[in-house]
Amino acid sequence: MDSLRVLELYSGIGGMHYALKESGIPAQVVTAIDINTTANQVYKHNFPDTPLWNKTIEGITLDEFNKLCFDMIVMSPPCQPFTRIGLQRDIADARTKSFLYILDLLPRLQRLPRFILLENVKGFETSSARVHLVKTLKECGYAFQELMISPISVGIPNSRLRYFLIAKISTEDINTQTSSKILDAFPHLPESDSPEHPTFLSPACQGASQPEEKMEGGHVLFKLETALEAQKKILQNSILSVRQIQEFLEPQKEINMEHYLLPKTLLRYGLVLDIVKPTCRRSVCFTKGYGRYVQGTGSVLQCCMETKSVFTGLDRCSEEEKLQRLLKLKLRYFTPREVANLMGFPQSFTFPEQILIIQQYRLLGNSLNVVVVAKLLQLLVS
């Protein structure tokens, strides 16, 4: 196959670019476009030779797009208009304006791109924006497939359920080439692409091997969750095709623990945290608020294995004693490097020195899982 010319819209920190590299597909990103100046610093740091436009998409003319002569569009439009914790204003949200501009522009391009890949949050699949997208693709002659995929499906212990659409120009009857069903798993995975040891792990991590975690008779740390939620977490930890979290962790000697240990807010939030151990096979989605807000932004790591004595009779303890007990767990945030590992970014991915840790979490929370997208690209182009 000739090298594909790829246009990367809403490029962020380069998740799509890394996915292209991970996929092994011959491709060149001819231009990346984003208005987030901090994200652009990170992108330029990692891809210094890729043209990067710091401008609004709707400010780019049809002629400028035509001159790029691209074969593929990869994009992850703003998710805030569709996320369940937002206002869900959909196409009435100003942040959807650039995406609607792309859909208006697509039929008028001098040459339609052969391939399109789009990623967004769960919720996009029921939006008016999605209806407009599907209508435009059909009118332009694309065959497409929609999927809802989480990294768990490729053996990564992180829940990040996302909507994906892959589309290619079709020369056949669209009705026979496009499935109306949104798939919840990959149609197939190439045998040569076993998820056991993806390329993003460092040699030190690849050699990690620890005994299986005992479930302690179903004992869990999450005191305020329902029995159903607790059982679900136990079941997730029992899926042996998913790797253990410890394979994605940095060596302890390389971490300044003082930067990542949970603060005294532990007393307030200690019983609603999503706590995982290195031997767990699950973690919850890391959001842009991770490291800044405690509840609902991502899992925290328990570095001390002792648990039973900590929670036994905890409700009868004084505030100070509760705090001292919880501190024994040595709960800490995952480092930005560890979050990047769980999101499939290779070891070559780094942040510029001037990017603060809190900014790194925010940028990663707005990004995507590289391994999942890489497999979708393989599926799209095959």
- Sheet containing strand 275-276, edge to edge, reads 275-276, 300-302, 331-333
Distance CA 130, CA 90 (A): 10
**Rounded Cα distance, 85 and 301, in Å:** 25
**Residue 17: which of 48, 56, 38 has the closest Cα?**
48
Beta-carbon-side half-sphere exposure of residue 303 (alpha carbons within 13 Å): 16
Q: Is 79 a catalytic residue?
A: yes
The helix (run of H) or strand (run of E) holding residue 116 is: strand 115-121
In angstroms, the CA 118 to CA 57 distance is 16
Torsion of CA 259, 201, 361, 95, to 10 degrees: 180
* Structure tokens belonging to residue 334: 């995952």
User: Structure tokens of 71?
Assistant: 């074969």
Q: Cβ-count burial of 333 within 10 angstroms (0-12 exposed, 13-18 middle, 19+ buried)?
A: buried
Q: Which two tokens stand for residue 343?
A: 């999101």
Six token digits for residue 360 = 């790194």
Give the C-alpha separation, 7 to 113, whole Å. 9
| 69, 79, 303, 304: the active-site residue | 79
Name the 3-class secondary structure at 186: coil
Catalytic residue numbers, as ranges: 79
